Amino acid sequence: MPKAIVKKFRNMPHFPVSFKDKDCEREIQMTKKLFLIGCLFISSLFALIQPVEGSSKMPNYLYDLDQVRYELYQTNEGKNYNWLFFPGGPGGDSCYLRSLVDELQLPGNVWLIDLPGNGSNNNSSYSDNYDFWFELFPRIVKQFDNPIVVGHSFGGMLPMLYPELEGTLKGCVILNSSPVLWLEEAVAYSKQFDLPDLTEDMQAFIQNPNQETFDAALSACMPYYFPKETLCREFDCQAPIHGGEK
């Protein structure tokens, strides 16, 4: 788990886990693994999605000093809102949200935002520093008047980490994501159902990312997302996750 997230949780008064208590060391480690699992699994789904372009054929991108990319996709009459769309993944390019925005016709300005290293926004020295994302998010929001965050999947998790933004935001819309911080419940669930330890497979992928280690890590994640009876057993199901045949 990025250090910035741990710091955020530690400073949130309603988060019950003490990071100084040795008795909860196992829970902390599992929490870190679960966050990585979630990002890994959701990112794998986005790898299969073909972006659906909206009506904008030639996007005009703006960049700030941190190389956050902004696309002012629409400006409509009505109230003076700034709608800030954050895509899922992490890794999904914000362009897949264009068709949704076309349907909504929201009042005010509609921005599609890609953090440095996200989607096709890879022209940045920060591309591999994902801890930096968690420093950027509140700065992005605070520079807009009347901001409304619209987060899909992983993008919907980001606002949950910043209770201090409650007085800044005019609204927060979460699409296909959890409306609460779910890590504590995930840790309890893994203990209740005795889910397997993922340390070896996750570390192998982190230290040597390639298709083989990715497939192994993704396979290890499956018991966290699907009922045991729906999963193939190793001796009767050998199909690679990325689409090969048995």
| Domain annotation covers residue 235 | no
CA distances from 82 to 90, 106, 134, 152, 162 (A): 22, 10, 21, 17, 19
* Per-residue model confidence as pLDDT tens for the chain (246 residues): 344 443 443 343 333 333 334 444 444 445 445 555 555 555 554 444 444 444 445 678 999 988 899 999 999 998 999 999 999 987 889 999 999 999 999 999 999 999 988 888 886 566 566 778 888 999 999 999 999 999 998 899 888 889 999 999 999 999 988 777 776 777 787 888 888 877 888 889 888 888 999 888 888 888 887 887 787 654 345 444 444 444
Residues 129 and 98 in one domain: yes
- Residue 138: inside a domain, yes or no? yes
150, 175, 200: which is the final residue of a domain? 175
Q: Which residue has the tokens 């208590």?
A: 21
In terms of domains, do 190 and 170 share one?
no
Percentages (nearest 5) of helix, strand, coil residues in the chain: 40, 15, 45
3-state secondary structure at position 215: helix
Question: Same structural domain for residues 11 and 104?
Answer: no
Q: Establish if 204 belongs to a structural domain.
A: yes
Q: Strands, E, within the chain: which ranges?
A: 61-63, 69-76, 82-86, 108-114, 147-152, 171-175
Last residue of a domain, one of 175, 192, 207: 175
Residue 73 within any structural domain of the chain: yes
pLDDT at residue 235, as a whole number: 36
At 104, phi and psi to the nearest 5?
A: -80, -40
Q: What is the pLDDT of residue 209?
A: 83
Question: Does the residue 241 lie in any domain?
Answer: no
Residues 116 and 171 in one domain: yes
Last residue of a domain, one of 139, 159, 175: 175
Domain membership of residue 219 (yes or no) is yes
Peptide bond into 196 cis (omega under 30): no
Both 145 and 162 in one domain: the answer is yes
The parent domain of residue 197 ranges over 3-49+181-230
Based on the structure, what is the number of domains in the chain? 2
Residues 185 and 170 in one domain: no
> What does the buried/exposed string (b/e) look like for 145-164 if buried means 16 or more CB atoms within 10 Å of the residue's CB?
eebbbbbbbbbbbbbbbbee
| One domain for residues 78 and 123 | yes
Q: Are residues 162 and 91 in the same domain?
A: yes
Tokens of 33: 């693994």
Do 92 and 168 share a domain, yes or no? yes
Q: Which amino acid is at 207?
A: Q
